[in-house]
């Protein structure tokens, strides 16, 4: 799902979504373990005791002098919290942070196609790729090198890092702070959460202390240790900027956003809270230049632990699947479905035979909670579902026809299938006047071609519907969640609407909701 929030934060002509992986890459060029960066082409997610408050010292509050009222209580002075003891955290936890060096091979033809995607001279990566690309042969395979970070979670050599750090690796070397080096075996990796588990043959190793993100608060101090650009055991600090952040094409992880300085080579390294406990794995940055610009993202430690447990148990990772296509709920949809707030995941389509279909979900339902967890943005749902196990029974709180309903869904297995998010190409704009649709029944051949049993073909579009993005050739399936098969049904539903209506249309093979504001 397209995330417009992130795009507005950097109003640049071109944005770069950089995977923070390696400090040095061979002739392939790029600052990543095996894949330096991806150009972001879009304009679309869980988080044990609360941290003890550090000792506070009082500081004077500057204020204009004024006569004190008789018997008036003097205001309490504001307390200035002391900074965490970063030096102690680094000294105690640093020895368990490792540097990871990776060698591998890539097919040069694929690398050439993917590494230089028609960059213009003003692109921040143009000069970088121009320098390296001429050295790449066109055929066969080419050796590559990369670097990243990781941290030891067991005394016998289990290490957590990012999946993209060891992707396509033929040999992985782990270097400890005492300068010892070990060849590492990749026990398993999960590209969907970007977590990998390594193993080295050693005993009595230092380990990190694992914490929890449940009570981690926005604004709390956090500390990162890693190997940016190959500078081993570098320490940087900042605060938690947000929790449960959804990122483009990363639907299985509710990221921690921080302003900790993270650069190529930090990937896979730990993020510590103020008590020296690991709360995340530093994974990605959002940048125009490929370097740190104040937006860093870490995988919550709970997600990493679930992946680790599955890999150590069976060598592979499973994610649950609901089998539905969802959309975000904007104000127009909230008005159409009479929701108090524009929150939840709007169900646009349900795959036949899927867990969602068996649970009784219908197009037009708005999922407000999953196993008691609120769904604010639609991107919250895939992360919650993806962290559940196939076969589990989930409780869904659904808004349907103006009232709440509770459904039970036995979750399926995501396997290799990726959850799809419905997209509409145009944003709704202020509307006025009638709906502006010319409708007709489906012809028999159109029913067979589209696979639609009931609905109306949209022949012409004008007025509010045209401005909302409805197109000629779309098939109108429902209005405000009510299936329609005649023009009279459409008129009846629209007549009872107040501010807007939600049109469910089929466009090609996709079903999407389009909010249409009425005058």
Per-residue pLDDT of the chain (519 residues; tens, 9 = 90+): 434 333 333 333 334 444 444 333 333 333 343 333 333 332 333 333 334 444 443 333 333 334 444 444 555 555 556 788 999 999 999 999 999 999 987 665 544 444 444 545 555 555 544 444 444 455 566 777 889 999 999 999 999 999 999 998 889 999 999 999 999 999 999 999 999 999 999 999 999 999 999 999 999 999 999 999 989 999 999 999 999 888 877 678 999 999 999 999 999 999 999 999 999 999 998 877 777 888 999 999 999 999 999 999 988 898 999 999 898 899 989 988 899 999 999 998 888 889 999 999 998 999 999 999 999 988 889 889 988 889 999 999 999 989 999 999 999 988 745 444 444 433 333 333 368 888 888 877 777 777 787 888 888 888 888 888 888 888 898 888 888 888 888 888 887 787 888 899 888 888 898 888 876
Domain boundaries, the chain: 1-48+84-314, 320-413, 437-517
User: Residue 272 contacts by C-beta under 8 Å, 6 or more apart in sequence?
Assistant: 89, 93, 208, 211, 222, 223, 224, 225, 278, 279
Specify the CATH architecture of the domain 320-413.
Answer: Roll (2.30)
Give 304-346 as a DSSP string: HHHHHHHHHHHSS---EE--EEEEE--HHHHHHTT-SSS-SEE
Residue 10: burial class (beta carbons within 10 Å; 0-12, 13-18, 19+): middle
Catalytic: which of 35, 101, 123, 164? Answer: 164
Which pair of tokens denotes residue 35? 């894949």
pLDDT of residue 150: 97
Of 209, 412, 150, 189, whose CA–CA distance to 307 is shortest?
Answer: 189
Write down the pLDDT at residue 134.
45
267 is annotated as an active-site residue: yes
| Per-residue pLDDT at 349 | 87
- For the question of residue 123 being annotated catalytic, the response is no
Marked catalytic residue, from 123, 190, 194, 474: 194
3-state secondary structure of 413: strand
Residue in 37, 189, 227, 267 annotated catalytic: 267
Structure tokens at 177: 């702070």
Strands (E), 108-194: 141-152, 158-161, 169-175, 181-190
The token duo for 442 is: 């489906």
Assigned architecture for domain 1-48+84-314: Beta Barrel (2.40)
Q: Would you say the CATH fold of 320-413 matches that of 1-48+84-314? A: no
**3-class secondary-structure state, position 87:** helix
* Number of neighbouring beta carbons within 10 Å of residue 491: 14
Is 319 annotated as catalytic?
Answer: no
Q: What is the CATH number of domain 437-517?
A: 2.30.42.10
Q: Please list, in sequence order, all residues whose beta carbon lies within 8 angstroms of the beta carbon of residue 106, skipping any fewer than 6 positions away.
A: 28, 34, 141, 142, 144, 168
The whole-number pLDDT of residue 166 equals 93
* Cα(240)–Cα(132) distance, integer angstroms: 36
Q: Cα separation of 506 and 478, whole Å?
A: 10
């Amino acid at each position: 799902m397209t995330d417009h929030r992130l795009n507005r934060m950097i109003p640049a002509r071109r944005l770069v979504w950089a995977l923070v992986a390696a400090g040095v890459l061979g002739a392939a060029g790029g600052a990543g373990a095996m894949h330096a960066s991806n150009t972001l082409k879009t304009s679309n997610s869980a988080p044990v005791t609360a941290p003890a408050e550090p000792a506070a010292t009082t500081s004077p509050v500057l204020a204009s002098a004024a006569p004190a009222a008789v018997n008036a209580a003097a205001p309490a002075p504001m307390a200035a919290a002391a900074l965490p003891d970063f030096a102690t955290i680094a000294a105690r936890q640093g020895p368990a942070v490792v540097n990871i060096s990776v060698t591998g091979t890539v097919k040069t033809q694929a690398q050439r196609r993917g590494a230089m995607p028609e960059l213009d001279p003003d692109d921040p990566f143009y000069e970088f790729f121009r320098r390296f690309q001429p050295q790449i042969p066109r055929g066969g395979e080419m050796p590559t090198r990369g670097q990243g970070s990781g941290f030891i979670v067991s005394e016998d050599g289990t290490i957590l890092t990012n999946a993209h750090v060891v992707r396509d690796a033929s040999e992985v070397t782990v270097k400890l702070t005492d300068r010892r080096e070990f060849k590492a075996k990749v026990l398993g990796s999960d590209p969907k959460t970007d977590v990998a588990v390594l193993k080295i043959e050693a005993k009595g190793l230092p380990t990190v202390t694992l914490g929890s993100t449940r009570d981690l608060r926005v604004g709390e101090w956090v500390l990162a240790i890693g190997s940016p650009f190959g500078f081993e055991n570098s320490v940087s600090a900042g605060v938690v900027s947000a929790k449960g952040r959804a990122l483009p094409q990363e639907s299985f992880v509710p990221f921690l956003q921080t302003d900790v300085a993270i650069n190529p080579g930090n990937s896979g390294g730990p993020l510590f809270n103020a008590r020296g406990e690991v709360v995340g794995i530093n994974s990605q940055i959002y940048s125009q230049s490929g370097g740190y610009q104040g937006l860093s993202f870490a995988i919550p430690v709970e997600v990493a632990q679930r992946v680790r447990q599955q890999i150590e148990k069976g060598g592979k990772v499973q994610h649950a699947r609901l089998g539905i296509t969802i959309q975000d709920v904007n104000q127009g949809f909230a008005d159409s479905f009479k929701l108090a707030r524009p929150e939840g995941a709007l169900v646009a389509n349900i795959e036949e035979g899927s867990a969602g279909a068996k649970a009784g979900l219908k197009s037009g339902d708005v999922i407000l909670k999953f196993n008691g967890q609120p769904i604010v943005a639609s991107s919250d749902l895939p992360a919650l579902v993806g962290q559940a196990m196939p076969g589990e029974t989930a409780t869904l709180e659904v808004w349907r026809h103006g009232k709440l309903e509770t459904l039970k869904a036995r979750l399926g297995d995501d396997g290799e299938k990726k959850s799809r998010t419905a997209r509409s190409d145009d944003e709704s704009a202020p509307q006025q006047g009638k709906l502006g649709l010319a409708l007709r029944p489906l012809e028999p051949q159109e029913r067979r071609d589209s696979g639609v049993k009931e609905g109306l073909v949209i022949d012409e579009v004008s007025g509010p519907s045209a401005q909302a993005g409805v197109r000629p050739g779309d098939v109108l399936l429902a209005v405000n969640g009510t299936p329609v098969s005649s023009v009279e049904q459409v008129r009846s539903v629209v007549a009872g609407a107040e501010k807007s209506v939600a049109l469910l249309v089929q466009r090609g093979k996709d079903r999407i909701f389009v909010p249409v504001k009425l005058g």
